[in-house]
Amino acid sequence: MHELTVSPWASLAYLVAGVCFILALRGLSSPASSQRGNRFGIIGMTIAVVTTLVTHVPTVQHLLVSDTGPTIAVRAIDWVTVVEILAAIGVGAAIGLVTARRIAMTAMPQLVAAFHSLVGLAAMLVGVAAYLNPQAFGISDLVVPMIGQPFAVIHPVSRIELGLGVAIGAITFSGSVIAFLKLNGNMGGKPIMLPGRHVINIALLAGILGLIAYFVTDQSAWIFWTITLLSFVIGFLLIVPIGGADMPVVVSMLNSYSGWAAAAMGFTLHNSAMIITGALVGSSGAILSYIMCRAMNRSFISVIAGGFGTSDAGAGSGGSAVDRPWKRGSAEDAAFLMSQAEQVIIVPGYGMAVAQAQHVLREMGDKLKAEGVRVKYAIHPVAGRMPGHMNVLLAEANVPYDDVFELEDINSEFAQTDVAFVIGANDVTNPAAKTDKSSPIYGMPVLDVEKAKTVLFIKRSMGGVGYAGVDNDLFYRDNTMMLLADAKKMVEDIVKALD
């Protein structure tokens, strides 16, 4: 059993780690400072991990028997356990390093969802370990003799921490697994509406909270495991009815959940670094979820309840490409129109990410600038499948930060823009969000690209729809020219035509 008291120097080290985490979040708020923010995060996590390892070195007790004196109990470092811990850290570090180097930017949203699931699972497993051996975690002082084995009575406050930590961790785990499957294409992006889902969710949530309250007075195993099981179930039920268009909110929401789960387990482990880090992640994730909901003109409750999207999504799409006229253009047409323009606004979306077209897109922008064209990039808050997805891709391609604008800063400029160049951004440019009350994206603020004199829209084919499952009215506007091809191939052809 390890010592749970924390020395002053360890508390100071945890405080420094917390400051580093705050600086990391501040740095990550802008692409220009994101690398610095990552460095602060790495430093803070290194300090926290090393401090925890040093202050919680596993020990074993040896009895020194002497013929001339009393038997002496001596504690020594348990090197076997130390090697196991270091081996586990090494394996995890290797997996993380390989994953980070090999993962494609298009798979970043599902990777984040997978990370959230691991955080939730880790929090839940810590709670299980604390429940099975409370004395090792310092959450039990009283041991009641029982038939078979002693029974450790867990502190009432620790029972609340355990119940909440395990519940939030299990919800985060199962919910993140469903989010991963949806983002990775293993499940459809359309919401799966279960009959009576609201009543079921409310009943399960009430049952979990009631059992946690009862757990304070009775720490029976059936109560603990029922809380865990019901939390797994409600995590699944909460995410299944949420449609693909809400995935950015789901990612940030699960990020918040993972933080609160870690904070709850921080209390169980008596680890201030976990409490600080968990609270930072939980609160920042909650704020980001609120910002995402405002960007989509939705309430947080409606998203959690699966109110965005229906099983017949796409009913209000206004017809298919087969029975509605549209205009097709070529790379040469696009190059000519943009080279003659005074201002071009580029609107990237998930289609650009899939095609990995950000580097050639920046090359196109540079050529247009060389010809005297003003080039700007318009980013919708929920473009892609997680917050900041497009900003990261453009930063990777070294697009100047001063050229990138958020929706509220650039929407008024489309009316004075010669060409709006849309590359793979479907739902966030759909004017039906402003006019068609039957559309599942109705009410979501979108980029006003249809107000530009000419809209060039890159899309693989006219048959597909956006992630929300609806067709885009913009395709059929008189001022829209469709460029049907792979996004990267089309932009490469446009670059050649500009030479």
Active site residues: 427
Could you give the CA distance from residue 48 to residue 127 in angstroms, rounded to a whole number?
20
Among 255, 252, 212, smallest CA distance to 231 is for 212
Residue 76 tokens read as 């020594």
Locus of tokens 């390892």: 53
Among 335, 329, 327, 328, smallest CA distance to 493 is for 335
Could you give the CA distance from residue 343 to residue 401 in angstroms, rounded to a whole number?
17
Q: Which residues contact 217 (CB under 8 A, 6 or more apart)?
A: none
Burial class of residue 301 (count of CB atoms within 10 Å of its CB; 0-12, 13-18, 19+): exposed
CA atoms within 13 A on the CB side of 28: 18
Residue 12 tokens read as 């100071």
Q: What is the 3-class SS of 213-237, one letter each residue?
A: HHHCCCCCHHHHHHHHHHHHHHHHH
Could you give the CA distance from residue 109 to residue 353 in angstroms, rounded to a whole number?
11
Residue 146 CA: distances (Å) to CA of 125, 130, 215: 26, 19, 20
Among 161, 129, 156, smallest CA distance to 142 is for 156
Residues in the chain: 499
- The helices-and-strands tally (H runs, E runs) of the chain is 17, 10
Neighbours of 299 (CB within 10 A): 14
